[in-house]
Amino acid sequence: MSKIKKALDRTGHPALFLVDAVSSLGTSEYCHDGWGADVTVSASQKGLMMSPALSFNALSDKALAAAKNATTPKAFWDWQPILSFNERGFFPYTPATTLFFGLDEALGMLLGEGLKRVFARHARLAEATRRAADAWGLEIQCLDREEASNTTTALRMPEGCDADLLRKTILDNFDMSLGKGLGRLEGKVFRIGHLGNFNDLMLTATLGGVEMGLSLAGVPHQRGGAQAAADYLISSGSNED
């Protein structure tokens, strides 16, 4: 991502550098200030392992100045009320108190494990998932492995196969829910999540369910994806620093 920021800086363009960290916060290294982001938006339901409901914004001075000078009418997207109240230790509305207790617990879990280990665990589980996909002969939606997500892996279905039918088959037979393709990818991809409080055994069980589902749904594939992932997990060890 810092490459994007450097390219933006080279042009001298005044555009704000906005980052969607909804999935990556708590799963991958991210430095809002250090990487020069202007606005970072995240939420509670992914790497922070909570229910959906909380959103987090980090803002640079440049973003605050742009918001102050903008003439576009806004209400929900107006940061000023919460910034003003936060300075006095309050919220401009009723805070989601119980969710803050959950957030405190989630942060305690992450810091207790150590962020370096958390990030390494997510990278390792993601790589194991990609190796399973390779063994099955299914194409990963993200063609550049260096840019692939460590939180979820989207796999493309072979031509003529419906990803949503596969998802239904797996849900009906194994009570396991997979993510669907969104927008133009609907029916073309399914997503395997490997984030949050997730470990080797959970992943191998997930991949085993996917492999059985591929067979039940009649999706052309090669067997052995779950085993390929397990082999990688065994060889790479479970306690990387």
Domain boundaries along the sequence of the chain: 2-113, 115-236
Instruction: Determine the pLDDT at residue 1.
Output: 59
Cβ atoms < 10 Å from Cβ of 120: 16
Give the pLDDT confidence score for residue 236 in this predicted structure: 93
CATH of range 115-236; options 2.60.40.1180, 2.60.40.10, 1.20.1250.20, 3.90.1150.10: 3.90.1150.10
Q: What is the mean pLDDT of residues 77-106?
A: 92
| Alpha-helical regions (H) of 87-199 | 97-113, 115-136, 163-174
Mean pLDDT in residue range 180-198: 96
Q: The pTM is what? A: 0.90
**How does pLDDT run across 38-88, given as a tens digit for each residue?**
999 999 999 999 999 999 999 999 999 999 888 888 887 789 999 999 999
2-113 shares its CATH topology with 115-236:
no
Question: If we measure between CA atoms, which residue out of 33, 38, 39, 72 comes closest to residue 55?
Answer: 39
- CATH tag for 2-113 (out of 3.40.640.10, 2.60.40.10, 3.20.20.10, 3.40.50.920): 3.40.640.10
**Residue 13 pLDDT more than 90?**
no
Instruction: Give the model's pLDDT for residue 239.
Output: 53
Given a cut of 60, whether residue 157 has pLDDT beyond it is yes
- pLDDT score for 74: 83
Closest CA to 198 of 49, 45, 44, 30: 49
pLDDT attached to residue 75? 80
Is residue 8's pLDDT more than 90? Answer: no
User: 193 phi and psi, to 5 degrees?
Assistant: -85, 140
- Picking from 119, 145, 116, the residue whose alpha carbon sits closest to that of residue 130 is 145
The rounded distance, in Å, linking the Cα atoms of 79 and 235 is 48
Tokens of 107: 């942060």
- Per-residue pLDDT averaged across 183-212, rounded? 97
The pLDDT score that the predictor gives to residue 238 is 64
According to DSSP, the residues that pair with 57 across neighbouring strands are 41
Which of 69-78, 147-156, 172-181 is least confident? 69-78
Rounded mean pLDDT, 136-154 = 95
Q: What is the pLDDT of residues 25-40, one digit of tens each?
A: 999 999 999 999 999 9
In a 3-state reduction of DSSP, which class is residue 42? strand
